[in-house]
């Protein structure tokens, strides 16, 4: 998950990464793709030995986007799909992905400190 980024950061440097996780008590499902629970996500983020220094979870601005922005995205996507039927399927997949990244998927921004290699 972080391996590619690690190569570009010096030991002791910081890595910021946005990675969502499934809210507590959410059963795994193909619907949620590769998302895992928080503990599994944290293990994956620190698999290279890095340390989580800080986490911003579902900030108010993220929540506001889901509550107000996604309905606007969906309406615009529907209008665009009507005028451009050749890309309607791709637009539908994008909107589905955007909605999946709302609850029970919890957005987070993680700050990792790279350990020595």
| Number of structural domains found in the chain | 1
List the domain range (segments joined by +) for residue 49: 3-113
pLDDT of res. 68? 80
**CATH code of residue 85:** 3.40.50.150
Q: What is the mean pLDDT of the chain?
A: 84
pLDDT in tens, 27-76: 777 777 788 889 999 999 999 999 999 999 877 777 777 778 778 888 88
- What distance in Å separates the CA atoms of residue 5 and residue 48, rounded to the nearest whole number? 11
User: Burial code of 42-81, b = ≥16 C-beta within 10 A, e = fewer?
Assistant: beebbebebeeeeeeebeeebeebbeeeeeeeeeebeeeb
Closest CA to 108 of 14, 21, 44: 21
Q: Which pTM does this prediction carry? A: 0.66
């Amino acid at each position: 998950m972080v391996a590619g980024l690690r190569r570009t950061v010096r030991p002791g440097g910081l890595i910021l990464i946005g990675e969502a996780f499934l809210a507590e008590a959410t059963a795994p499902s193909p619907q949620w793709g590769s998302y895992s629970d928080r503990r599994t996500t944290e293990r994956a983020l620190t698999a290279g030995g890095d340390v989580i220094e800080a986490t911003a979870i579902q900030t108010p601005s993220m929540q506001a986007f889901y509550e107000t922005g996604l309905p606007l995205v969906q309406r615009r996507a529907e209008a665009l799909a009507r005028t451009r039927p050749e890309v309607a399927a791709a637009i539908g997949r994008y909107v589905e992905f955007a909605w999946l990244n709302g609850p029970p998927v919890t957005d987070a921004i993680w700050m990792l400190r790279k350990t020595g290699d």
